[in-house]
Amino acid sequence: MSFQLTILGSSGALPAYGRFPSSQYLHIQKHHILIDCGEGIQTQLKRFSIPTQKIDKIFISHLHGDHYLGLMGLLFSMHLNRRTNDLHLYSPPGLDQIILLQLKYSKSALHYQLIFHPIPDGASVCLYEDNILTVHTIPLRHKIPCTGFLFQEKPKQRKINKEVLPKDMLLAHIAQLKLGEDIYNDEGALLYKNTDYTLPPRPSYSFAYCSDTAYDESIVGLIKEVDLLYHEATFMQEHEDKAAMTLHSTTLQAAQIANLAKVKCLLIGHYSARYRVLNALQEEAATLFKNTKLAIEGETIDLEKL
Amino acid sequence: MSFQLTILGSSGALPAYGRFPSSQYLHIQKHHILIDCGEGIQTQLKRFSIPTQKIDKIFISHLHGDHYLGLMGLLFSMHLNRRTNDLHLYSPPGLDQIILLQLKYSKSALHYQLIFHPIPDGASVCLYEDNILTVHTIPLRHKIPCTGFLFQEKPKQRKINKEVLPKDMLLAHIAQLKLGEDIYNDEGALLYKNTDYTLPPRPSYSFAYCSDTAYDESIVGLIKEVDLLYHEATFMQEHEDKAAMTLHSTTLQAAQIANLAKVKCLLIGHYSARYRVLNALQEEAATLFKNTKLAIEGETIDLEKL
């Protein structure tokens, strides 16, 4: 029942001090997801023992190089490693052309299927839904079409309270209880009251990924009360002007969004190459939003333990 | 007067054991050249203190990902670091489309000029020539259009023997002596015999880069007696069948080419991910061609000291 995020890359546009460009690995129950694919992602996946061939969905926020240039090499390596399962790619339009052109010139026919899902520009849409998870877009304000992603677990089934469960209960009734239903007999009389035999379900978690973006309060409604918000903080507050010019955010702007959205925890990253040591960024953001963490490569955040 | 080669990446298609995909840096006098640009090249350039912004020519052997996927990130970083000088890109056709498409989607107008030189398929051609250097193609046999590169220094000027030089000699005459000419007066009488006042020039060096290729003796004529031959050796001899199937070479095949071409030194690389330790590849090649070196990332080979 995991909901865990592992940081693979935390750097802004220029790699610096051994930090890699943007990339995160999200493990939600049976789903293995990559979010952005900066150059060197293969190195990082191997370094942190991520099960690469299990990844079946990749979400690319936008087509600036530091967010997708590791993808092509990853696709080639998956092919060389004999991957056969489908791979879904979600990104602003254009990624399909970029990939297909490179496959054409390398004369590569992949052993597996690539399924492209171009993201329309504009209002938030649902990109994916199954019985576990929904993924919605978060329109961001950047130099080119750019979108964040909101990952939300669906409500989970109630847990059977084994200590009070009659030994002769039918499996069909247990399944109904898990769905939260009361059980009636054919005459309509109550047989089992749900809350007598079940415990509340495990909590469901939510994670919002917002990179790259200028300060933009219009996203607050979409990310309200998420458990974990990743919001870029390329600059310290003293460079607010640079942030505005490049359509990036500062530490305090990220913290302000976290405050307005009343999230549980804020994770900052996409650090400018000017910062060798990162503590000051965390400290500055924490003056406004206390529960702020730094995105540190190789660290895993378990949303059940926030 | 340097002629030095630095290995930046030595791995075959799959990065392994911390080795990076193909990339080499060649410093010939005033020329700063990259040959192939595997993913992660920016990391390697920084790690080995290569003057990145001085690089003015990049030669790409072919459009398999492990030979060019680091290029796009490098181009973006050169831009972000305010490069203004022209950059010449030599590669089989298609690289221009791949780059321009990615520039289009990232809406990037580079601060510097990219000049594409598509390499025609077929016989060897001269790609570049100035008063220092020529660069010719070496057609290779691989799955897609693929070319090696032959870098040859032109003969250098003779050196003035300062110990015997008359103090009143005209600068114009010194320049003529450097060019190897004798000096006559207006009446046609010999004033200075060149060999009396000059010493032989420094030697000129040559380097041939051959990756990726099946065993192919037709290249021998082109690379005859080069000082340094880089020839891929993806496999040990026991995997000759795999080499044939994938149009790569074995250690002994690389050594055989070195023998036939009577080169001074053979450098092997493009190692398969199956080899953790590389000594055995060098030892096997050396049974056939004694002066064989392993391409080791970070090592510089000075052709004056071979």
Active site includes B66? Answer: yes
Q: What is the pLDDT of residue B168?
A: 87
In chain A, the residue whose alpha carbon lies closest to the alpha carbon of B69 is A73
Q: Do A102 and B63 touch (CB under 8 A)?
A: yes
Q: Do A14 and B80 touch (CB under 8 A)?
A: yes
Same domain, A268 and A145: yes
Neighbours of B285 (CB within 10 A): 29
Q: Which residues contact A18 (CB under 8 A, 6 or more apart)?
A: none
Reported as a single tens digit per residue, the pLDDT across A167-226 is 888 999 999 999 999 999 999 999 999 999 999 999 999 999 999 999 999 999 999 999
Reported as a single tens digit per residue, the pLDDT across B37-58 is 999 999 999 999 999 999 999 9
Same domain, A171 and A296: no
Same domain, B208 and B194: no
Contact residues on chain A for B63, CB-CB shorter than 8 A: 102, 105-106
**Å from A58 to nearest chain B CA?**
18
Q: Which of B13, B106, B144 sits opposite A107 (nearest CB)?
A: B144
**Å from A132 to nearest chain B CA?**
33
**Closest-CA residue to B95 (of B70, B112, B77, B78):** B70
Same domain, A173 and A40: no
Same domain, B94 and B8: yes
Same domain, A55 and A114: yes
**Å from B275 to nearest chain A CA?**
16
- One-letter amino acid of A232: E
Instruction: Give a three-class secondary structure readout of A141-187.
Output: CCCCCCEEEEEEECCCCCEECHHHCCCCCCHHHHHHHHCCCCEECCC
Q: Do A76 and B66 touch (CB under 8 A)?
A: yes
**Closest-CA residue to A39 (of B263, B43, B95, B296):** B43
Tell me how far apart the alpha carbons of residues A256 and A240 are, in angstroms, rounded to a whole number. Answer: 14
The total number of residues shown for chain B amounts to: 306
Output the CA angle B218-B59-B221, nearest 5 degrees: 20
Same domain, A41 and A178: no
Q: Which segments of B69-142 does DSSP mark as H helices, in order?
A: 71-80, 95-105
Same domain, A10 and A141: yes
Same domain, B133 and B279: yes
Q: What is the pLDDT of residue B15?
A: 84
| pLDDT averaged over 10-residue windows placed end to end, chain B, 306 residues | 95 92 97 97 96 97 98 97 97 98 96 97 96 97 97 94 89 91 93 94 96 97 98 98 97 98 98 97 98 98 96
Residue pointed to by tokens 């990844």: A55
Number of folded domains that form chain B = 2
In chain B, the residue whose alpha carbon lies closest to the alpha carbon of A20 is B43
ipTM for the predicted complex: 0.92
DSSP string, A228-269: EEEEE--B-GGGHHHHHHHT--BHHHHHHHHHHHT-SEEEEE
Q: Do B77 and A14 touch (CB under 8 A)?
A: yes
Q: Which segments of A19-94 does DSSP mark as H helices, in order?
A: 41-47, 65-68, 71-80
Tell me how far apart the alpha carbons of residues A303 and A305 are, in angstroms, rounded to a whole number. Answer: 5
Residues of the domain holding B179: 162-199
Catalytic residue, from A66, A130, A186, A302: name it: A66
Q: Which of A63, A65, A80 sits opposite B73 (nearest CB)?
A: A65
Side-chain-side CA neighbours of B174 within 13 Å: the count stands at 12
Q: What is the pLDDT of residue B305?
A: 94
Pick out chain A residues at pLDDT < 70. Answer: none
Reported as a single tens digit per residue, the pLDDT across B114-149 is 999 999 989 999 999 999 999 999 999 999 999 999
Tell me how far apart the alpha carbons of residues A135 and A151 are, in angstroms, rounded to a whole number. Answer: 5
CATH code where residue A132 lies = 3.60.15.10
Tell me how far apart the alpha carbons of residues B152 and B136 are, in angstroms, rounded to a whole number. Answer: 8
Same domain, A165 and A295: no
Same domain, B143 and B14: yes
Contact (CB, 8 A) for A193 and A199: no
B138 sits in which H/E element: strand B133-139
Q: Which of A15, A102, A144 sits opposite B42 (nearest CB)?
A: A15
Q: Which of B70, B80, B98 sits opposite A102 (nearest CB)?
A: B98
Q: What is the pLDDT of residue B190?
A: 94
Same domain, B207 and B193: no
Q: Which residues of B31-51 are buried (b: 16+ CB within 10 A; e: fewer)?
A: bbbbbbbbbbbbbbbeeeebe
Count of A-B CB contacts under 8 Å: 89
